[in-house]
Structure 1
Amino acid sequence: MRKEEKPKIDARLLELLACPLTKGPLVWDEEKSELYSRLAKLAYPVRDGIPVMLPSEARTVDPDAEPARSARSRRE
């Protein structure tokens, strides 16, 4: 993968993944390479195309600054 390329999440994988805390849906934020849980207000990093679904690795997201829903998001 070239440096300027950002990791992508397969749409089928996104349909299978859920927030480990709330078991709710996740939204893919391609710009930040994160999976965002609206219910938990946490953003889980994606490193080298692999989602890191550990709450200890997630960052807290300000509810007012939540990512826009992308085309590759899971339906709620």
Structure 2
Amino acid sequence: MTDAIEPWVREILRCPVGRHELVDATNEAGEPVLECAEDCGGAGQRRQFPITDGIPVLLESDATTVTR
């Protein structure tokens, strides 16, 4: 689903909290999300941002924090 995001847009998308690069991932339900490429929120923690109808929702309030 993230294939619908233009490559030039992908290059500028960043985590609104830590300003990290975002990479493709899936959440526990198997849905596509964008995830911080680096720890964000604490050691071993990454934020995941949902993709709704092909549009990344980069709001801190909608992010989920996962442990890696």
Q: Is TM (by shorter chain) over 0.5? A: yes
- SS of 2:35's equivalent in the other structure is strand
Q: Deviations over 1:8-67 (max 9, x none)?
A: 33322211100001111110126531000133110000000111001110111111xxxx
Matched with 2:33 is: 34
% identical aligned pairs: 33
Kept in 2: contact 1:7–1:47 (CA 8 A): no
The answer to whether the aligner puts 1:62 opposite 2:61 as a matched pair is no
Larger relative contact order (C-alpha < 8 A, sep ≥ 6)? 1
Task: Provide structure 1 residue ranges, at least 5 long, that are not aligned to the other structure.
Answer: 1-5, 64-76
Runs ≥4 in structure 1, deviation > 4 angstroms? none
Matched with 1:20 is: 16
Q: More strand per residue: 1 or 2? A: 2
CA distance, structure 1, for counterparts of residue 24 and residue 54 of structure 2: 12
Task: Provide structure 2 residue ranges, at least 5 long, that are not aligned to the other structure.
Answer: 41-45
**TM-score normalised by length of structure 1:** 0.64
Kept in 1: contact 2:34–2:49 (CA 8 A): yes
**TM-score normalised by length of structure 2:** 0.71
Which one has a bigger Cα radius of gyration? 1
